[in-house]
């Protein structure tokens, strides 16, 4: 049995830090080590202690860099890789002008396979080891992404997008075909290795009542699957949704009435919420997902993280490629800090890094498997260098604490700060 020992400064979170003084929230070891075997972390602690347990392990010395759990991206669109940075429009125009025509290409299985390789490369290049991804409406796009993730032993949660109206015909399915394709994909991929299926109605505008009814059936038949969709991203979107579903009390009520809410449901954006919707999110345990770079790029609005947290609602955080503008969860934290600042909300660096690791894992109900560096968890690890660029190195000359280092990574870091990414113990960067 081959064992690998990673040496470096080890940081892992135990719960969400209240502030810088909450040292019980995390474990930090200046000269630490992780012992890996067969895709798992089998020991974590002081280097001297761990090295003594495994004298024959192959050692990779990452000092003076920081070892953390791999980043988790809670909302990303696999078929939108080539529409990132498509010039200015509001949400609905942006979808029609850029997104839907590009997603039509994913009906070509060969194109989907080629893009799946590049997608997974970009994730790991940026330190992301788990993603919750929308595929296109085509079954072949989901098959390509699951196949690629499986070949890397990468944890991936994904689903074929369901949409039967109000989009280009090339990206339409039907209620029956969306049910049949999703059911077949669940049977082939869900809980296979490190893969999970997400039932994926894009949003209420592009799903008819008949399609949401089959989404309900899929949820009832497959209670261990996740659900992902969009909610209240943009004022025009909300008005159009209300026009299409005039009997609904509000936007969220549409999903609620079709049985799509619950602890395994992720709702992208959730910016412009009414009081009843907030209460329903809290009651059902559903999870909003904050997408800061996308919200700024499309001018959608400001996410109220603190307000939702006060109501007992736990939110994920994500890049939302391709409305989002960076694959980097570090840059996602950068923009989230600014959005929260505009609302007199704070995001301490310790809280930020907990959010993109253990926090997102907890939203998924997977913190026993991913998101920390505890023994017995999956060996998804990122190695970080806060001196990665000349500007960062210059700033680090004045950094005196771990929190300062993390904040520099949060505000100035990107893929250049990612020294190495390990997926199930295997290095991904050449």
Rounded to 5°, angle at Cα 188 from 123 and 367: 50
State the angle between helix axes of 329-341 and 402-412 in degrees (0 to 180), rounded to the nearest 10.
Answer: 100
Output the CA–CA distances (angstroms, integers) from residue 149 to 120, 132, 209, 375, in the order listed.
7, 12, 33, 24
Tell me, what's the pLDDT at 1?
77
Backbone angles phi, psi at 228, to 5 degrees: -135, 140
pTM, to two decimals: 0.98
Domains of the chain, first to last: 4-70+371-427 (2.30.40.10), 71-363 (3.20.20.140)
State which H helix or E strand residue 403 sits in. Answer: helix 402-412
Contact 59, 32 (CB under 8 A): no
Token pair, residue 95, equals: 């979808």
What's the CA gap between 293 and 304, in Å, rounded? 15
End-to-end CA distance of the chain: 24
Strand partners, 9: 66
Name the nearest CA neighbour of 119 among 109, 110, 108, 131.
131
Sign of the torsion formed by the C-alpha atoms of 344, 349, 351 and 355? positive
**Torsion angle of the four alpha carbons 195, 110, 165, 78, in this order, in degrees rounded to the nearest 10:** 50
Sign of the torsion formed by the C-alpha atoms of 202, 204, 209 and 212? positive
Helices (H), 245-381: 251-257, 275-284, 292-297, 305-310, 329-341, 349-354, 360-363
pLDDT, tens digit, 9 for 90 and up, residues 372-426: 999 999 999 999 999 999 999 999 999 999 999 999 999 999 999 999 999 999 9
Q: Running DSSP on this structure, what letter comes out for residue 246?
A: T
- With a CB cutoff of 8 Å and minimum separation 6, the contacts of 412 are 334, 389, 391, 392, 395
CB atoms within 10 A of CB 105: 17
State which H helix or E strand residue 29 sits in. Answer: strand 26-37
Backbone angles phi, psi at 404, to 5 degrees: -65, -40
Tell me, what's the pLDDT at 91?
78
Under-50 pLDDT residues of the chain = none
Output the CA–CA distances (angstroms, integers) from residue 391 to 382, 385, 403, in the order listed.
21, 13, 18
3-state secondary structure at position 34: strand
What's the CA gap between 102 and 95, in Å, rounded? 10
What's the CA gap between 348 and 337, in Å, rounded? 8
Token pair, residue 417, equals: 């700060």
Q: Running DSSP on this structure, what letter comes out for residue 355?
A: I
- With a CB cutoff of 8 Å and minimum separation 6, the contacts of 390 are none
Name the nearest CA neighbour of 81 among 111, 115, 50.
115
Q: Running DSSP on this structure, what letter comes out for residue 378?
A: B
């Amino acid at each position: 049995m081959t064992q690998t020992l990673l040496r470096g400064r080890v940081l892992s979170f135990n719960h969400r830090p209240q502030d810088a003084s909450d040292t019980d929230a995390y474990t930090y070891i200046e000269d630490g080590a992780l012992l890996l075997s067969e895709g798992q972390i089998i020991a974590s602690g002081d280097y001297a202690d761990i090295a003594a347990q495994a004298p024959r392990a192959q050692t990779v010395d990452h000092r003076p860099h920081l070892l953390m759990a791999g980043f988790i991206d809670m909302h990303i669109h696999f078929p939108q890789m080539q529409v990132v940075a498509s010039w200015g429009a509001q949400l609905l125009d942006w979808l029609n002008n850029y997104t839907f025509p590009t997603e039509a290409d994913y009906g070509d299985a060969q194109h989907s396979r080629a893009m799946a390789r590049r997608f997974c490369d970009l994730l790991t290049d940026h330190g992301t080891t788990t993603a919750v991804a929308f595929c296109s409406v085509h079954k072949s796009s989901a098959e390509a992404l699951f196949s690629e993730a499986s070949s890397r032993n990468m944890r991936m949660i994904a689903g074929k997008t369901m949409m039967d109206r109000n989009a280009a015909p090339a990206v339409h399915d039907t209620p029956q075909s969306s049910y049949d394709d999703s059911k077949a994909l669940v049977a082939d991929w869900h809980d296979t290795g490190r893969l999970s299926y997400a039932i994926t109605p894009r949003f209420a505008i592009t799903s008819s009542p008949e399609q949401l009814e089959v989404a309900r059936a899929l949820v009832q038949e497959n209670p261990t699957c996740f659900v992902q969709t969009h909610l209240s991203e943009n004022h025009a979107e909300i008005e159009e949704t209300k026009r299409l579903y005039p009997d609904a009390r509000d936007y969220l009520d549409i999903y609620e009435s079709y049985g799509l809410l619950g602890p395994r449901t992720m709702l992208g954006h959730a910016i412009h919420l009414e009081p009843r919707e907030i209460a329903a999110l809290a009651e059902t345990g559903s999870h909003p997902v904050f997408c800061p770079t996308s919200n700024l790029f499309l001018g959608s609005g400001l996410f109220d993280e603190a307000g939702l947290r006060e109501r007992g609602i736990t939110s994920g955080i994500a890049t939302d490629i391709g409305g989002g503008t960076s694959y980097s969860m570090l840059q996602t934290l950068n923009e989230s800090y600014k959005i929260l600042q505009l609302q007199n909300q704070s995001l301490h660096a310790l809280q930020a890094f907990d959010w993109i690791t253990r926090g997102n894992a907890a939203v998924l109900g997977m913190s026993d498997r991913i998101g920390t560096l505890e023994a017995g968890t999956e060996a998804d690890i990122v190695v970080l260098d806060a001196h990665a660029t000349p500007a960062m190195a210059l700033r680090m000359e004045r950094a005196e604490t771990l929190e300062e280092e993390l904040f520099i990574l949060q505000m100035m870091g990107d893929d250049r700060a990612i020294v190495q990414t390990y997926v199930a113990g295997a290095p991904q960067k050449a």
